[in-house]
Amino acid sequence: MLDRLLILEVASIESEWLRVTLHKWLDDEYCPEDTNIEISKVAANSYYKSLVEGETDIGDILLKMASELESISYQDSFHGAFSSANAAVNLIIQRIGQL
């Protein structure tokens, strides 16, 4: 039970980190836009689910995230589902390297 709670807590912390960091990165890299908020929320939620499910393969995390990001309309955006997922995974890899 304690292990499960720890997994949920770590997943929550890491996914919130991704939400904030990805949103800032998208705003800084391109320009601030409403879509960045939605992208960062969907990416963070996908990452949370991957962590809770015990997924460790970064390629699988990327593909799942890209698939979930396809639910967003990118009509008025500089982004796409795969480029957004790729940016998120690059940030995750950088974070792992810092830990």
| 42-87: pLDDT as tens digits | 999 999 999 999 998 999 999 999 999 999 999 888 889 999 999 9
Q: What distances in angstroms separate CA 64 from CA 8, 74, 80, 89, one per listed residue?
A: 19, 18, 14, 11
Number of domains in the chain: 1
- Mean pLDDT (the chain) is 94
pLDDT at res. 76: 80
| 1-43: pLDDT as tens digits | 668 788 899 999 999 999 999 999 999 998 899 999 999 999 9
Give the domain range for residue 88. Answer: 2-98
With a cut of 90, say whether residue 89 has pLDDT above it. yes
pTM, two decimals, is 0.92
